[in-house]
Amino acid sequence: MAKTLNVGMIGYRFMGKAHSNGWRQAPHFFPLDAEIEMHTICGRNPEGVEAAANELGWKNASTDWQAVVNHPEIDIVDINTPNDSHAEIAIAAANAGKHVLCEKPLGMTVQQCQDMVDAVEKNNVVHMVCHNYRRIPAIAHAKKMIEEGAIGEIYHYRARYAQDWIVDPNFPLVWRLKKGISGSGAHGDINAHIIDLGRYLVGEFAEICGLMNTFIKQRPLEDSSGKGSGLGGAGGAEMGEVTVDDAAMVIGRFQNGALANLEATRFALGRKNNIVIEINGSKGSLYFDFEDMNRLKYFDNSQPDDRQGFADILVTQPGGSHPYVGQWWPPGHIIGYEHTFVHTLADFVNAVVAGKAVQPTFEDGKRNQRVLEAVEESAQSKQWVTV
Cα angle vertex 192, ends 187, 193, to 5°?
130
Q: What is the mean pLDDT of residues 241-251?
A: 98
Query: How would you class 354 by CB atoms within 10 Å of its CB: exposed for 0-12, middle for 13-18, buried for 19 or more?
Result: exposed
Within a domain: 210: yes
- The CA distance from 263 to 285, in Å, is 20
Question: Which of 104, 133, 162 represents a domain boundary (last residue)?
Answer: 133
Domain identity same for 206 and 236: yes
Residue 318 confidence class, pLDDT cut points 50, 70, 90: confident
Q: What is the mean pLDDT of residues 215-228?
A: 78
- The CA distance from 41 to 38, in Å, is 8
Within a domain: 228: yes
The confidence score (pLDDT) of residue 199 equals 98
Range of the domain at 80: 3-133
Percent of the chain with pLDDT over 90: 94
What are 370-384's pLDDT values in tens digits? 999 999 999 999 999
Q: Is the pLDDT of residue 228 over 50?
A: no
Question: Which of 78, 106, 133 represents a domain boundary (last residue)?
Answer: 133
The confidence score (pLDDT) of residue 227 equals 45
Within a domain: 308: yes
Domain identity same for 23 and 103: yes
Please give the mean pLDDT across all residues of the chain.
95
Q: What is the CATH number of the domain that holds 44?
A: 3.40.50.720
Within a domain: 14: yes
Within a domain: 123: yes
- The CA distance from 329 to 315, in Å, is 12
Domain identity same for 270 and 152: yes
- The CA distance from 129 to 12, in Å, is 17
Q: What is the CATH number of the domain that holds 176?
A: 3.30.360.10
Global pTM value: 0.95
